């Protein structure tokens, strides 16, 4: 490999340890005399609730705070600063800079969510149009942009299904949501939070929904099915029409987990596949940055039969004038304090018009080409295996199993991923989906030039060879990251667990 990667290692202290009494990092504009003279701040708070001792926050000058976080940023890996971030299911595509510039516009950052509609026509129009584009891409009838993340969207969607059965007088008996064993963990968790039991069905030999198992599981107790398509092994659910029919015939509704929407834009639409309710992740398919874990955005689209249950407020257009619509008597209620992650939605809007309908389709196609390029070049190596119909095309992601390598050499998927970090490449998603042993779930996205795909392939090939020739080198990885392998047991042990500086100081004083 030609890559010579070394991540910064600043051995950066905690911000509390950089404190020196008296320093300040920010200064407030002084109070005007008329305001300043008239009050005694000591008597503004009732005595029982006055804070006598100041919070134990660190005292630093501005440059110290800035450098501290600059140092920390250098000990992190982003898709815009790294080389490839093939984290399966997460669609780590390029996060365009122009979208950040637009999202910093004072006419969005300074907008209060309770301002009157007359003063917010610009953002309402953007949100309304984004919704229209979202419906165009997904083939649904109506949508809400309020869910703040994918899982929030899933829960919202299942709450809509719940409301539907409630209105039809069937909620009492329809208490089950079916999920395939390949589903994202959020699916059963969201169904549970919406008050349902989950029934897991096993995938068939192709890694897709087993129609017999589904038929057996579906019945008068079924509220719905949650399905990702293409699914989590990156394969299109070819029997989707039959799947929808089985669920609908049983009286259930179809939920689409849109985590993998990036594979199919312009090629097919969940709304045409029989799905009644869907979510999509703007931070995946529509390029908004993942922010180290969030904020994302998880809009939910529905067919007409669920539209009246959508959360309040909706956004409606009337003769070119946009307004929030609170008049939804059958709505499930509010699911977010205000209108969701609006600033994120703005970036997604900019992304959509940057690519346009044609460009979005091309993006999907190239994401699929990139995934197949990588998986076909790796699947025949001795230690890896493309489980479930290796000759079948993948969509935007592919799941390699390192099970053969583990058996031959003792090197597991974990060590493959750790060694990748040493090359300055991010690891794929590991150990998911659960139906693939030693899973390495690879999603390069369309943003990656063939050169970075080749670098990734070369690294994966070299790791594979090392496993068979010098496994010890893998078992001690990573070396080139800020820190080496961590003691995760200590972090979670009841005696040593420490989740804050406050606790850290207590533990230190006890020692």
Partner 1 sequence: MSKIHRYLPNSVPEIKEKMMDEIGVSSIADLYSDVPDELVYKGSLQIPGPSTEAEVKKHVSDLLEENATLKCPPFMGGGVWPHYVPSVVDEVVHRAEFLTSYTPYQPEISQGMLQSIFEYQSLVSELVGLDVVNSSLYDWSTAVGEAALMSSRITRKTKVLVPDLMSPYRYSVLKTYIEPAGLSVEKVDHDEITGLMDLEDLKDKVDNETAVVYVENPSYMGFVEENAVDIGEIAHDHKALYVVGVDPTSLGLVKAPGDYGADMVCGEGQPLGNHMSYGGPLLGILACKHDNRFIRQMPGRIIGITETLKDQRRAYVMTLQTREQHIRREKATSNICSNQALCAVAAGVYLGLMGPTGMRELGETIMSRARYAQRKIGELPGVRAPIFNSFHFKEFTVNFQNKSIDEINKELRAKGIQAGIPLTKQFPSLGETSLFCVTEVHSKKHIDMLVSALKEALEV
- Applying the rule CB under 8 A, the residues between 380 and 419 that interact with partner 1 are 392-393, 395, 417-418
| Binding residues among 95-124 for partner 1 as defined by CB under 8 A | 95-96, 98, 100-105, 107-116, 118-123
> Could you check whether the bond before residue 313 is cis, i.e. omega within 30 degrees of 0?
yes
Which three-class secondary structure string do you get for 166-225?
Answer: HHCCCCCCCCEEEEECCCCCHHHHHHHHCCCEEEEECECCCCCECHHHHHHHCCCCEEEE
Query: Do the strands 253-258 and 222-228 form a parallel or antiparallel pair, or are they unpaired?
Result: parallel
Under rule CB under 8 A, residue 321 binds partner 1: no
Under rule CB under 8 A, residue 14 binds partner 1: yes
- Give yes or no for a contact between 84 and 444, defined as CB atoms under 8 angstroms apart: yes
> Could you check whether the bond before residue 350 is cis, i.e. omega within 30 degrees of 0?
no
CA-angle at 354, arms to 269 and 231, nearest 5°: 30
Task: Using alpha carbons, list the distances in angstroms from residue 324 to 121, 128, 136, 155, 368.
Answer: 10, 10, 21, 23, 38
Q: Least distance (Å) from partner 1 to the CB of residue 377?
A: 7
- Tell me how far apart the alpha carbons of residues 367 and 443 are, in angstroms, rounded to a whole number: 8
Under rule CB under 8 A, residue 69 binds partner 1: yes
| Binding residues among 280-299 for partner 1 as defined by CB under 8 A | 281, 283, 289-296, 298
Closer residue to partner 1 (CB): 220 or 333: 333
Closer residue to partner 1 (CB): 169 or 494: 494
Among 499, 508, 509, 511, binds partner 1 (CB under 8 A): 499
Among 3, 216, 220, 267, binds partner 1 (CB under 8 A): 267
| Binding residues among 144-163 for partner 1 as defined by CB under 8 A | 148-152, 154-155, 159, 162
Under rule CB under 8 A, residue 449 binds partner 1: yes
Under rule CB under 8 A, residue 457 binds partner 1: no
Among 180, 188, 299, 383, binds partner 1 (CB under 8 A): 188
> Which H helix or E strand runs over 226?
strand 222-228
Distance between first and last Cα of the chain:
47
- Tell me how far apart the alpha carbons of residues 91 and 367 are, in angstroms, rounded to a whole number: 9
CA-angle at 367, arms to 366 and 371, nearest 5°: 110
Closer residue to partner 1 (CB): 203 or 407: 203
Stretch that binds partner 1, among 212-220, 249-257, 397-405, 494-502 (CB under 8 A): 494-502
Residue given tokens 């689209």 in the structure block = 301
Under rule CB under 8 A, residue 508 binds partner 1: no
Among 264, 310, 402, 416, binds partner 1 (CB under 8 A): 264
Closer residue to partner 1 (CB): 407 or 476: 476
Under rule CB under 8 A, residue 173 binds partner 1: no
Under rule CB under 8 A, residue 340 binds partner 1: yes
Stretch that binds partner 1, among 219-227, 397-405, 467-475, 481-489 (CB under 8 A): 481-489
- Tell me how far apart the alpha carbons of residues 324 and 232 are, in angstroms, rounded to a whole number: 36
> Could you check whether the bond before residue 507 is cis, i.e. omega within 30 degrees of 0?
no
The count of residues in the chain is 511
Residue 400, φ and ψ in degrees, nearest 5: -90, 145
Stretch that binds partner 1, among 35-43, 209-217, 405-413, 463-471 (CB under 8 A): 35-43
Backbone CA torsion sign across 109, 115, 121, 125: positive
Total residues contacting partner 1 by CB under 8 A comes to 213
Q: Least distance (Å) from partner 1 to the CB of residue 238?
A: 5
Under rule CB under 8 A, residue 225 binds partner 1: no
Got the DSSP string for 60-128? --HHHHHHHHHHHHHTS--TTTSS---BTTT------HHHHHHHT-HHHHT--TTS-GGG-HHHHHHHH
Under rule CB under 8 A, residue 330 binds partner 1: no
Among 6, 330, 382, 490, binds partner 1 (CB under 8 A): 490
Stretch that binds partner 1, among 195-203, 219-227, 250-258, 465-473 (CB under 8 A): 195-203
Under rule CB under 8 A, residue 174 binds partner 1: no
Under rule CB under 8 A, residue 278 binds partner 1: no
């Amino acid at each position: 490999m030609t890559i010579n990667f070394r991540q910064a290692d600043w051995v950066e202290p905690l911000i509390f340890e950089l404190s020196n009494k008296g320093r300040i990092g920010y200064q407030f504009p002084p109070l005007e005399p008329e305001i300043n003279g008239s009050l005694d701040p000591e008597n503004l708070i009732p005595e029982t609730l006055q804070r006598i001792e100041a919070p134990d926050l660190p005292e630093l000058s501005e440059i110290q705070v800035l450098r501290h976080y600059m140092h920390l940023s250098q000990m992190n890996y982003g898709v815009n600063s790294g080389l490839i971030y093939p984290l399966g299911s997460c669609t780590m595509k390029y996060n365009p800079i122009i979208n950040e510039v637009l999202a910093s516009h004072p006419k969005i950052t300074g907008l209060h969510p309770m301002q009157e509609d007359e003063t917010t026509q610009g953002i309402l129009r953007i949100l309304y149009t984004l919704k229209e584009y979202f419906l165009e891409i997904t083939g649904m009838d109506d949508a809400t942009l309020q869910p703040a993340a994918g899982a929030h969207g899933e829960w919202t969607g299942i709450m809509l299904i719940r409301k539907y059965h409630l209105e039809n007088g069937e909620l009492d008996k329809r208490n089950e949501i079916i999920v395939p064993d390949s589903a994202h963990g959020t699916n059963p968790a969201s169904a549970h939070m919406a008050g349902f039991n989950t029934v897991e069905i096993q995938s068939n030999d192709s890694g897709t929904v087993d129609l017999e198992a589904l038929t057996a599981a579906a019945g008068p107790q079924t509220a719905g099915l949650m399905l990702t398509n293409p699914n989590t092994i990156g394969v299109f659910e070819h029997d989707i029409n039959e799947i929808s029919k089985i669920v609908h015939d049983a009286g259930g509704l179809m939920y689409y987990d849109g985590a993998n929407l990036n594979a199919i834009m312009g090629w097919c639409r969940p709304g045409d596949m029989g799905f009644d309710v869907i979510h999509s992740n703007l931070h995946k398919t529509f390029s908004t940055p993942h922010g180290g874990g969030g904020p994302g955005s998880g809009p939910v689209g529905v067919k007409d039969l669920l539209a009246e249950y959508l959360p309040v407020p909706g956004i409606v257009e009337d003769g070119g004038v946009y307004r929030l619509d609170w008049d939804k008597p059958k709505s499930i209620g509010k699911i977010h304090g205000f209108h969701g992650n609006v600033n994120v939605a703005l970036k997604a809007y900019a992304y959509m018009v940057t690519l346009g309908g044609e460009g979005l389709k091309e993006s999907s196609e190239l994401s699929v080409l990139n995934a197949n390029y990588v998986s076909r070049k790796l699947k025949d190596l001795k230690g890896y295996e493309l489980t479930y119909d290796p000759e079948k095309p993948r969509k935007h992601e592919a799941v390699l199993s390192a099970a053969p390598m583990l058996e031959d050499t003792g090197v597991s998927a974990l060590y493959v991923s750790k060694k990748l970090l040493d090359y300055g490449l991010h690891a794929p998603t590991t150990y998911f989906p659960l139906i693939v042993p030693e899973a390495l779930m690879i999603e390069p996205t369309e943003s990656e030039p063939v050169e970075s795909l080749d670098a990734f392939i070369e690294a994966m090939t070299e790791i594979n060879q090392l496993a068979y020739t010098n496994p010890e080198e893998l078992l001690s990885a990573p070396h080139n990251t800020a820190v080496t392998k961590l003691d995760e047991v200590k972090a979670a042990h009841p005696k040593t667990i420490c989740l804050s500086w406050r606790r850290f100081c207590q533990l230190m004083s006890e020692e």
